[in-house]
Structure formats: structure tokens, C-alpha cells
Amino acid sequence: MAETSLLLLVAGIIAIGVLAQIIASRLRTPSIIFYIAAGLVLGEPGLQIVTADTFGITGLQTIVGLAVAIIVFEGSFHLKVERIRTAPAAAIRLVTVGAVIALVGTSVAVRFAFGVPWNLAFTIGALLVATGPTVVTPILDVVPVRDRVAAALETEGIINDVTAAIMAIVFFKTVNPEAVAEGFVTAFLSRMGVGLLVGVVVAGVVYYLLRYVDLSPGDAPRNARLLTLAGALLAYAVANSQATEAGVAAAATAGFLLGNADVPYEADVEDFKGDVTLVVLSFVFIALAALLEVETLVQVGVPGLIVVAAMALVIRPALVFLSTVGDRFTLQERAFMSFVGPRGIIPASVATLFAVELQAAAEDLGQPALVEQANILLGTVFLAILLTAVFEGGLARHVAEYLDVIPMRTVVVGGGKVGRSLAARLEGRGENVVIVEKRQATVERARNDGHTVEWGDGTDSEVLRAAGAENAKIVAAATGDDDANLLVAQLAESKFGVDRIVARANDADNVEAFQDLGVNTISPDIATAWAIDNQIERPAIARWMTDVGRVGDVEEVEVTADDLVGTSIREIGTELPDTCMIALVSRDGEADVPDSDFVVQRGDVLTLIGRSESVREGIARVDAGLA
């Protein structure tokens, strides 16, 4: 009977977690808020369905450990080298200088707010260094900021998750009287070294099996998914068996290496890992939140609020602004990054286990003071998680809109082959694309391809508004119905004032009607004629252009930065990447090939051509005034 009750409880928690994820997606709010709320209702503060005795100490440690392995591996798997390159200097400084500032600043705040010993203060400070992909990624899912901002925040979250967990373990050994004392540097480096070594070995083995071993042709995608999952769990378990919390580093290392190794069936693995991560994340967050007692939060009271306020309002802005000095980030982007620093699963899981160990030590050694320290540790960490998740997660989109850090969207109406192909090419260039589609089957297919889709009729102004037409720089009407495309173009121009409207005219006889509206129009006849002419007259560039967004790219960027006004093409060109050049300059609607002495003015549009990553970097530099 007890086993049946536990089974029902686990299934129920998972079901609640999935429901919370659906609600969060619907409300465009980070799911962690609903996980914590569900845990508080189920646990000690609410119905007391989940208690400390539900899983037991060993069971809880095992569940949390395996969940952390999957979550950290999945986050690292998605962290691509190409993405990190969009903000390399800032990312490095955030996980070095920024992490030190967060550690020292938070520790000092804890020390003087609670008057606790320095070793406990630094244990709490180390835990609260970790922002983590489990809370940052859901925010970035609903706040589509520029790649350089997302890359910096994601890199910070993943790497700090690893280093913070290991630092916290090392500091905690000086707090727990039952632990074996170790030198800080030795303990930290040994755990990191074990984790890196095990992660590299496991990644190498999994890569070899995926690449060179026959996984059974009929079941290869499924076997690749299962093999990768087993690798994540094995890396964590083996490393942890050698050194406590080295498993976090091992899982992160294996995930990062495999995610950047061009493994077979990578898309299948990513989808599978993402689904598994959502399940385990919801389960663990709900379970950990359920174990939190209200008295623990009340006990930290005002001192706890002071620590969280110092962490969010002083320490976080300081470390972000120092870490992004001299980089390409705008003032508004730096302010947004200062606001987004929520704490997630690593602090929650490790703090819970620390508290359990301290309470056990208090009973074994008869030292009740350890219980108070456990409560301060657990209460402060969970208070930080609750407040940062609720306020930063809940308000992130509003803050981003106020600061104007969400790049303008491109809305593609029509999710058929043309719409999806167009969206894929635009997204490959880093554009923020939303597809509008009314057919359910097509919506599902586009979402399975990884596109953001607004379900509804694109000729409905409210559907266009929900897709972001008010903040769109381009609307492309790409349905197979010319009447619908014409109406979309009219709404985009009259209702939303979109600057650039492009429409697909399926019937060449309708091109004139579109052009009368001032809409750039493409018909199948025109497109085919252009394609054939290119293959005849300029086959080399035609082949190169068909791969735009993967090998090379051509992009336009408007000159708006004061530093560029009055600057010559020669001066601008020396600041662009080697494989990026200025091909055209457009002024007052007239485009021409500039000479090196041509001086640009505000409002000029530069056409950049080159390798795709260099063009994206060039656009970022022009936007930032080549800073």
C-alpha cells in the first residue's frame, strides 16, 4: 500500500509539473514560479502531502543527484561555441571576475546581516553565485533578447552552476564538524579535475559509439538518445563516487563536448533531453519546495531580505557592469542583465542536502547551534530563490520591453513550405522570427522544426498583435492565398505601421494590386526567372547565395551611432572582421558601391557581405558604433 501511495505521489508531482509548464508557456512566464508554488501547496506550508520522510535522506540525495546530472548536461549540450563567440569577453569576465564579486559581496552581506561565522557566510555566498540554466533559459524563452545577451547569461549560468556547487562543498566542509577537513585550493581543484577528466572520457566514449558503431539502423535515433542519457548519468555518478559534487563538473563537461561535436541524430537527442529535463526539473523543484518549512523562511526574516536586496540591487548590477566594460553591450542591455540573475536548482538542491547533514550532525554531536545554522543556510538560499524567481522571472519581459532590449521581430504569416523555409533562413541570420499559422497540423510541424509559432488567422489584427506585429520591423505575407496576403499587408501598413512589408503573390496577375499598396511583392514567376538568370549569368554567387545563413551572408544595417556619423568607409572597414566587407551604401533610397573615402551619414544603410558569423559581428559593431 505504501509503495502504491508513493507511486501515485510521484506520478501526481510529475503531472502537476507538466501542467505548470503548460500554464507558464501560456502566460509567457518562467515555469519555476509555478513549480515553487505547487511545492509550497503540497509540502509543509500547505497540505503536507510531501514531507521530509516521503523519500528519506538517501532517496532524496539520489533523486536530486540524477536530476542535477540531466539538467546540467542538457544545459551544457545546448551551449554552442559559436554562440559563446558572440560575447566571449563578457562571458569570461562574468564567470571569473563576476563570480568573485558575487561570492565576496554576498558572503559579506550574510556575515553582517546574520552575524554568522565567515565559513557559513561563504558557504551561503558560494551557493548564491549560481544563476543556472534552469531559471535563466525559461526567462530567455519568453524574452527573446539579442544573441550576445543570451549567450553571456547562458554561459554564466552553466559555468557558475558547476563552480558554485564545488566551492560550496569545499566551504561547507569547514562548517560541518563531521566532515573531513581539506585545504580549499586542493579540494576545489581536485573536484574540478576529477569532473573534467571523467566528463572528457565519457564524452569521448559516447561520441565514438555514436559516430563509429552500428546502433541498429532501424532504431538508431532512439538508441542515440538513450546512449546520450546514459552517458550523462554515468559521468555524474562516476565523478561523484570519486569526489563529492565533482559529478556536476563531469556532466557539464560531457554535455558541452558532445553538444559541439557534431554527433549523429543531434536534433533527436536535443528534443529528447529537453523533454526529460522538463520532467525531472519540475519534479525536483516541486519536491524541494515542498520540504521547505514556513518557519525557516520566517526565521531568516529581515536579515534574509537584506541579503537578497543587496544581492539583487547592489552586487548583481556591480558585477554585470564591471564584467561588460568595453564590450558591445548597450547601456539598456547591461541594465537588463543586471536585473536577470535568478537562482535555481543547484542552490536549492545543495542547500537542502547541506541542511539535512547539519541537522544530522546536531543530533549526533548534541550541538543545537548547528540546527540554527542549517535553518539560516536553507532559509536564506530559498528566500533568494523565491524572490528572484518570482520578481525577476515574472517581471523580466516587462523590464525588457521598458528597456527596449528585445530586437524587433520579423512576422511571417503562413507556416507552409515557403513560410518555414523563409523563417529558417532568417533565424539562421539571428533574426527574431514568429510564424503565424491557422492550421493545427502545420503549427505542430513548424514547432517541431524549432520555430516560434502563433496559432491563429493572420488576417485577424489581434492575432498579428499577439505575434508581435506592433514591434515588428518586417511582416512577410507568405500564405498560398493572395486575398489573405493582401489583407495581411494592409493590416501591417495601416494598423501597425510596419516599415517593411513583403508579400507573396501566388498569381502573377495580382502583383500590380500589391505594388499599388507599396508592398514589395514576389511571385513564383519572378522568383523562378531570377533564379534561372542567376544560374546562367552568375553561377558562383548563385550557389553561394543559396546557402546564405550557413556559409555566407548579406545583411543591411542602418547607421545610427553618433561615433560613426562622418566616418569614412576606410575607417569603418578596418574595424570590421577580416571576412566582412561593405558592398553597398544606400542613401535616400539610392544604392551605390562606395569608394574608401566615402563618408557615411546618419540614416545611411550599409550592406555587409561575408561569412555569416563575421557579418553578424559586423552588424553588432556598427550598431554599437564600433565600440
Number of neighbours of residue 513 by Cβ within 10 angstroms: 16
How far, CA to CA in Å, does 580 sit from each of 280, 370, 546, 618? 44, 61, 18, 7
Name the residue with cell 537584506: 306
Ordered by where they begin, the domains of the chain are: 2-403 (1.20.1530.20), 409-536 (3.40.50.720), 547-623 (3.30.70.1450)
**CB-CB contact of 29 with 142 (8 Å):** yes
pLDDT score, position 430: 64
N residues, the chain: 627
Highest-scoring range by mean pLDDT, 39-43, 110-114, 215-219, 586-590: 110-114
**CB-CB contact of 559 with 605 (8 Å):** yes
182 pLDDT more than 70: no
pLDDT score, position 546: 62
pLDDT score, position 309: 93
pLDDT score, position 318: 93
545 pLDDT more than 70: no
User: What average pLDDT does this structure show over 118-142?
Assistant: 83
pLDDT score, position 549: 47
User: What average pLDDT does this structure show over 148-152?
Assistant: 81
| Confidence band, pLDDT 50/70/90 cuts, at residue 106 | very high
pLDDT score, position 29: 66
pLDDT score, position 429: 65
53-104 pLDDT per residue, tens: 666 666 666 777 777 777 777 777 777 776 666 666 778 888 888 989 999 9
355-383 pLDDT per residue, tens: 777 877 777 777 777 788 888 888 888 88
Alpha helical stretches, state H, 429-581: 440-448, 461-467, 482-494, 511-516, 524-537, 539-545, 569-575
568-578 pLDDT per residue, tens: 888 888 888 88
**CB-CB contact of 430 with 402 (8 Å):** no
pLDDT score, position 58: 67
**Higher pLDDT among residues 565 and 85, named by residue:** 565
**Higher pLDDT among residues 152 and 613, named by residue:** 152
373-428 pLDDT per residue, tens: 888 888 888 888 888 887 887 788 888 888 878 777 789 998 888 888 888 877 76
Number of neighbours of residue 122 by Cβ within 10 angstroms: 25
% of the chain with per-residue pLDDT over 90: 6
pLDDT score, position 1: 38
% of the chain with per-residue pLDDT over 70: 88
200 pLDDT more than 80: yes
Q: Within 13 Å, how many C-alpha atoms sit on residue 562's CB side?
A: 0
User: What average pLDDT does this structure show over 266-272?
Assistant: 69
- Nearest of 400, 307, 243 to residue 105 by alpha carbon: 307
pLDDT score, position 46: 67
Q: For the ranges 345-349, 454-458, 523-527, 596-600, which has the lowest average pLDDT?
A: 523-527
